[in-house]
Amino acid sequence: MATKVVTRKEGYWDKFYLPALAVGLKVTIKQFYKTLFKGQATTIQYPEVKRNYSQRFRGMHFISVDENKTENCTACYLCQTVCPAECITIIAEERDPEENVYGVRKEKKPKSFDIDALRCCFCGMCEEACPKDAIKLSRNYELATTSRAEAFYDLDHLKREVKGRG
């Protein structure tokens, strides 16, 4: 394949660099003026200021709980089955028969419920498939971690209150 050679015409003033520097400085001063005196900043002071994302934004997962902090999940495996990224791993166990949730005993509960957020593509199919409205995607987009292990959410993490839960 032929390589396209792009030649750049250099004008007389380009040799001195200073005119180009002045043009760049003019843009910077113009933006500075707009930000300082007209309040027209194009950036925000993150993290103090947050962007208002759409209600449909899909962020960090969480497992909803009832008033007794018992997870609404019945370990039916539907979310794990439907997940295209295969990032949900559930191990089910029998629920204590004495445990009565909403007056209706759920026979199974997750012994462990793990989501590998590094594999997740945030498609929301797990949320759609769940018959118990147990797994949900919050509007929290602050998912940065300093290690891979922190991006692996276990049941305790998923049941914890997260910002932007919705």
- Using CB under 6 A, which of the segments 1-9, 33-41, 96-104, 115-123 binds ligand SF4? 115-123
Distances (CA, A) of 97 to 68, 69, 105, 132, 136: 16, 17, 7, 19, 26
Q: Judge whether 158 and 62 are in contact, CB under 8 Å.
A: yes
Among 60, 75, 155, 158, binds ligand SF4 (CB under 6 A): 75
Distances (CA, A) of 75 to 65, 94, 113, 135: 14, 10, 9, 11
Q: With respect to ligand SF4, which residue has the nearer C-beta, 31 or 89?
A: 89
Query: Closest separation between CB of residue 107 and ligand SF4, Å?
Result: 12
- Distance of alpha carbon 82 from alpha carbon 118, whole angstroms: 17
Among 59, 60, 78, 139, binds ligand SF4 (CB under 6 A): 78
Q: Which residues bind ligand SF4 (CB under 6 A)?
A: 73-79, 83-85, 87-88, 90, 115, 120-126, 129-130, 132, 134-135
